[in-house]
Structure 1
Amino acid sequence: MQHDFWHERWQNNQIGFHLAEANPLLVKYFSSLNLQQGARVFIPLCGKTVDIAWLLTQGYCVAGAELSQIAIEDLFNNLHLTPTITTHGEITHYSAPNIDVFVGDIFKVTAAMLGKVDAVYDRAALVALPNELRGNYTTHIGAITQHAPQLLICFVYDQSLQAGPPFSVSTEETKLHYHNLYDLMLLATEQVDGGLKGVCPATEQVWLLKPLRH
């Protein structure tokens, strides 16, 4: 992963990807996962997203993984929670009631560390990774979550018009990464207001991934 790039973005507060309120697509489509109250939702590359606060207020438990310690210190401050902090090798575990966040390289997070996951919410992880890492990432997330169902949000746009991240992940690429292990349902395709970073037209695709039973 491009560790230096993301550390620099957080240190310089260059976090235009951070939204001030819960993602409307999460609010609109989260019920598609059909989870029970108290279910545990894993958010890879979570940053300090307020989606976490929304999930907590809806009665869910949250697990997250994030490279930036700055982001997670801000997250817990914003939630008015004082975390218990422990280390597991190269991963630092921040824990408070109903929330666990693992800080470090997500590829170092193991299934044993993460524990039970009822669903994955991926708004900003797959699209944050360059093409050469996306296959390894999708395999890893499936493995550490025992292929829990996912709500996946991807940007689709002409990559030649705008450098990522977020990167464009086409319908074909999404199917390529996930079709062997999940049943994919495209829930929605919505235009990005004003285009991606105001540069080029873009859509967001909302996918529901349900594990195939072999």
Structure 2
Amino acid sequence: MDRSYWEKVWREEDLGFHQPQVNRHLQRFWQRLQLAPEARVFVPLCGKSLDLDWLLSEGHEVIGIDLAEQAQQAVLARHSAGVRYAQQSHLHLAWQERLLFVVGDVFHLKADLLRSVDAVYDRAALVALPTAVRENYALFLAQCLKPGAQILLVAREEAARLQGPPFSVNTQEVERLYGANFAIECLAEEVRSDQVVERVFLLVRHQPWASGYLPVEAQETQAG
């Protein structure tokens, strides 16, 4: 899905992916990460999610990114604090107290920014990306995140193959994308009333040269 697709989604307010409440998996499993309150959390393709507010209420510094300027403005409008804006190449940045909301392509983020991240909360990013882009996204996170950084990932699987997001992502796909660079634990599996299977994974970035770890550079060399 390219930028024009998501611009159309927001322009037409076709926001079926937006949840009107904080995600239950986030509330149930976040404590498993055992983060300090001041830990920095990255939320890719965050939209205007209320999960951002919940993470802020836990004391975290939060970095959210989305292609839609409407999402940024909706989130900032929920709080009364002042906002500071800046432009960084193709990215539009807005700081509001402990929140940094970036409008732009996640792949344009500087690696240095993400190396300061302690955890990633991904409910809407991986399942929004087509297969080829998913591979780039998983490698991008592996390159940028420091050893020990964690990802709380919510994935979904359904029998019918969808032509558009959210896409079906099963356990095998998670292991294929992340297995070389992250330890993976499935925390929960839940079959919804519509037969969609939701799974919650905890991923931990390997220490360099840990058992089973293959550096990203080596993977790219082998792939070439």
TM > 0.5 fold call: yes
Counterpart-to-counterpart distance in 2, 1:192 and 1:94? 36
CA drift at 1:92: 0.9
Indicate conservation of the 8 Å contact 2:142/2:205, yes or no: no
Gaps in structure 1 of 5+ consecutive residues: 196-200
1:43 matched to 2:43: yes
Cα offset, 1:105, TM superposition: 1.0
- 1:102 — aligned with what? 102
| Identity, % of aligned positions | 34
Which residue of the partner structure matches residue 186 of structure 1? 186
Matched-pair contact (CA < 8 Å) for 1:53–1:79: no
* Residue in 1 that maps onto 2:23: 23
| SS at structure 2 position matched to 1:20 | coil
The aligned residue for residue 129 of structure 1 is 129
Match of 2:153 in 1: 152
Alignment match, 1:169: 169
* 1:58 is the counterpart of 2:58: yes
SS in structure 1 of the partner of residue 201 of structure 2 = strand
CA distance in 2, matches of 1:175, 1:128: 18
- Does 2:65 align with 1:71? no
CA offsets, 1:102-121, max 9 Å, x none? 21111111123446101000
| 8 A contact 1:64–1:100 mirrored in 2 | yes
Secondary structure in structure 2 of the residue aligned to 1:31 = helix
The one-letter code of the counterpart of 2:151 is Q
Of 123-132 and 56-65, the range deviating more from structure 2: 56-65
Cα distance, 1:83 vs structure 2: 1.9
TM superposition score normalised by structure 2: 0.88
Question: Relative to structure 1, is the Cα distance of residues 212 and 144 closer, same or farther in structure 2, using a 3 angstrom cutoff?
Answer: closer
The 3-state SS of whatever aligns with 1:48 is: coil
Shift of 1:20: 1.1
Q: Distance in 1 between matches of 2:82 and 2:173?
A: 40
- Secondary structure of the equivalent of 1:189? strand
Describe the SS at the equivalent of 1:136: helix
- Decide whether aligned partners of structure 1 residues 88 and 115 sit closer, same or farther in structure 2, where only a CA change above 3 A counts: farther
**CA gap 1:180/1:106 in 2 versus in 1, 3 angstroms:** same
| Secondary structure in structure 2 of the residue aligned to 1:158 | coil
Partner of 2:197: 203
State whether residues 84 and 95 of structure 1, in contact with CA within 8 Å, keep that contact through their aligned partners in structure 2.
yes
* Structure 1 contact 63–114 (Cα < 8 Å) conserved: no
Separation (CA, whole Å) in 2 of partners of 1:107 and 1:211: 19
Higher mean alpha-carbon deviation, 145-154 vs 164-173, is at: 145-154
Residue 198 of structure 1: aligned partner? none
Q: Is the Cα–Cα contact under 8 Å of residues 157 and 197 in structure 2 kept in the other structure?
A: yes
Unaligned 5+ runs, structure 2? 210-224
Q: How many residues align?
A: 207
CA distance in 1, matches of 2:139, 2:61: 24
Distance of aligned partners of 1:144 and 1:65 in 2 relative to their CA distance in 1, 3 Å threshold = farther
CA drift at 1:156: 0.7
Task: Tell me how large the CA RMSD over aligned residues is.
Answer: 1.4
Task: Say if 2:187 and 2:202, in contact at 8 Å, map to a contact too.
Answer: yes
CA–CA distance in 2 between the matches of 1:188 and 1:125? 19
Once residues 72 and 114 of structure 1 are traced to their aligned partners in structure 2, the CA distance between those partners, rounded to angstroms, is: 19
